[in-house]
Structure 1
Amino acid sequence: MMKKAFPVYDICSLADHQHSDLLISRFAPYLQKHQNLSLPHKHTFYHVVFFTKGSGKHSIDFKYFPVEPHQIYFMSPGQVHRWSFEGPVDGYIINFSAEFFQSFLLRPDYLESLPFFTGNVDDEVINISADKQLQVTALFEQLIAESHGPGHMAMDMIRALMLQLFILVARHGVYSSQNTTPNYNYTLLQSFKKLTDKNFATLRLPKDYAALLYITPNHLNALCNDMLGIPAGEVIRNRVILEAKRLLVNLDLNITEIASKLNFADNSYFTKFFKKYTGLTPEDFRKNPIAQ
């Protein structure tokens, strides 16, 4: 029997009722019900949390952030996440599938055009300024009310409120990519990132991705250097290292199995690769991933 690579949750497994596309809740009762989510895990859905009180820390793909009131964070499917709270925490949570949100839009890629859903962890955690806190809180309260009432066209109202929330926060945030307009270079870079997400285990060279994008390797490198400040090869390596970290926190998998999943020829080659780019052996990272 093949071992699961990682604890993965869908919306049904976290909801009282079997709605596969949407869960909206106040955060405190959700946290009480799902205390196991303090351990590293993945979601198959989009995940939004707005804290109104609390402290501690949370991580997205091994980058840690302090929990603060009026902080909102966004996660895309597949990212690894964990919480470590100190004292009472409250706020709001929305879990939703891409299909739920996109079902009334003509643009199926709309979510990916939002700067906090592009997979860049630095853009996914936003502290809402005092002048917008009441507006954001009011939208979450409306979402809670619509999700608990049998109102006419409630699901469409929820979608409209979510869209309003996302646009409000997208306007409000300061993002690492200053130009989020989907121009040619931005779209090309997003296509490259999507391809690395799908193929990082088997395609390791920039020329492989350049061929899939119908551009030259020099063009791809120039694009990554201009927009990310790193060459294309480093983008690919970073994606391999991220997946290695995601797998290493699952103690059910041994190092040999992880090396195999990542398509390394043997355990030794994987260990050398991981240590070269992180400064740690896989075993050292596994002992204390929180410190990294």
Structure 2
Amino acid sequence: MAGKSVPVYDIDNFNFQGTESAFYASTFPDHLKQHAQFILAPHRHSFYLCVLFTKGSGIHEIDFNAYDIVPGSVFMLFPGQVHTWKVSEDIDGYIFFHDKEFYNLNFTHDKVENYPFFSSTENLPLIILNKEQVSGIEIRFREIVREYLSRQLMGFQKICSLLAVLYIDLSRGYLPIEQRAKQNETQLAQAHMLEILIESNFRNIKYPRQYAQMMFMSEKNLNRICKITFNKTTSDVIADRIILEAKRMLVHSKFSIIQISEELGYIDDSYFIRVFKKRTGDTPMQFIKRYGKRNY
């Protein structure tokens, strides 16, 4: 079946310094000026993205969830998420992105996916900083952009160190204390493994017991981990990933509802329509009318 129409951008699609194509950084006005022709329309990335807004306003839509852009907004996006933004003319801030290997290969005992905002697609992609926090975080962003543009000796090694400090600072204000107390590293790792398995198999494998078997644990134990980590049942986590992909395809592809049903592993399209309506409150056609069909 033909691929989806929403574009997927690699770091190579953006201007970068030197020979390192696994990292990019810029002020947001410069980024917008250079790449407005394609970043203002819905698109995906193959990399992790982090942006701080220090001035202006707008709307940032990420996988059908709309977030207000205000000074102090920090957005953290996973590879593969569909997003678009509408920003005011006075928008200002900083943006950078990198692939997984750029960070992980530089740290023996640390991984980018271990940070709370990157540990699960279920987690909120936004932090709102107060004025005091903004001043400290903005210094980190500014230094990263300056180092990237300066092309100094061992510049990317320094950038990796600056990223680690920034991600630690952001993590401290991200995860509520009461949520940290409920989770442990083993449960977080198991929840992350479940998400990886679902991401690779959700079109063909849809039952909790199948994922429990793949993870060598009981269905009851897996469900308990999901409740603690996501506040959802395993069935809900699986279904939410399927429905998200259905929404993406309904709005951003040229596929018919029947084709989407088949692509997502449903033999009976009427059953797919019932599942979609149960999870969203809309039929697929109602959802398309509400968001509009966006072909590229």
Provide TM-score, normalisation by structure 1.
0.91
Q: 1:177, CA displacement in angstroms?
A: 3.9
In 1: Cα distance, 2:253 partner to 2:242 partner: 19
Structure 1 segment 126-275 matched on structure 2, within 5 A: 126-175=127-176, 177-179=179-181, 182-275=184-277
Which residue of structure 2 lines up, in the alignment, with residue 124 of structure 1? 125
- Aligned mate of 2:291, from 284, 289, 292: 289
Contact 2:183 2:229 in 1 (8 A): no
In 2: Cα distance, 1:206 partner to 1:9 partner: 33
Contact 1:10 1:45 in 2 (8 A): yes
Contact 1:55 1:67 in 2 (8 A): yes
Which letter maps to 1:208? Q
Percent identical residues: 31
Q: Quick check: 124-133 or 219-228, which moved more?
A: 219-228
1:236-275 deviation line (CA, Å, top 9, x unaligned): 1111111111212214222222222211113322222211
Which residue of structure 2 lines up, in the alignment, with residue 13 of structure 1? 13
Which residue of structure 1 lines up, in the alignment, with residue 108 of structure 2? 106
In 1: Cα distance, 2:238 partner to 2:3 partner: 26
In 2: Cα distance, 1:101 partner to 1:179 partner: 27
SS of corresponding position for 2:87:
strand
Q: 1:181, CA displacement in angstroms?
A: 6.4
Which residue of structure 2 lines up, in the alignment, with residue 3 of structure 1? 3
Q: 1:3, CA displacement in angstroms?
A: 3.1
In 1: Cα distance, 2:64 partner to 2:109 partner: 31
Q: Quick check: 111-120 or 201-210, which moved more?
A: 111-120
1:133-175 deviation line (CA, Å, top 9, x unaligned): 2221111121121111131111111111111111111112244
In 1: Cα distance, 2:106 partner to 2:284 partner: 45
Q: 1:122, CA displacement in angstroms?
A: 4.5
Query: Unmatched 5+ residue regions in structure 2?
Result: none
- Aligned mate of 1:42, from 41, 44, 50: 44
Which letter maps to 1:272? R
Number of aligned residues: 289
- Name the Cα RMSD after superposition: 2.1
In 1: Cα distance, 2:33 partner to 2:160 partner: 27
1:3-61 deviation line (CA, Å, top 9, x unaligned): 33531111111225674301100101211232232222111000000001111111222
Q: Quick check: 205-214 or 129-138, which moved more?
A: 129-138
In 2: Cα distance, 1:180 partner to 1:27 partner: 37
In 2: Cα distance, 1:254 partner to 1:135 partner: 49
In 2: Cα distance, 1:153 partner to 1:227 partner: 39
Q: 1:284, CA displacement in angstroms?
A: 1.6
Q: 1:210, CA displacement in angstroms?
A: 0.5
Contact 1:115 1:180 in 2 (8 A): no
Contact 2:49 2:97 in 1 (8 A): yes
Q: Quick check: 275-284 or 169-178, which moved more?
A: 169-178
Provide TM-score, normalisation by structure 2.
0.90
**Distance change (3 Å), C-alpha of 1:15 and 1:258:** farther
Contact 2:243 2:276 in 1 (8 A): yes
Matched, 1:23 2:24: yes
In 2: Cα distance, 1:140 partner to 1:183 partner: 28
Query: Unmatched 5+ residue regions in structure 1?
Result: none
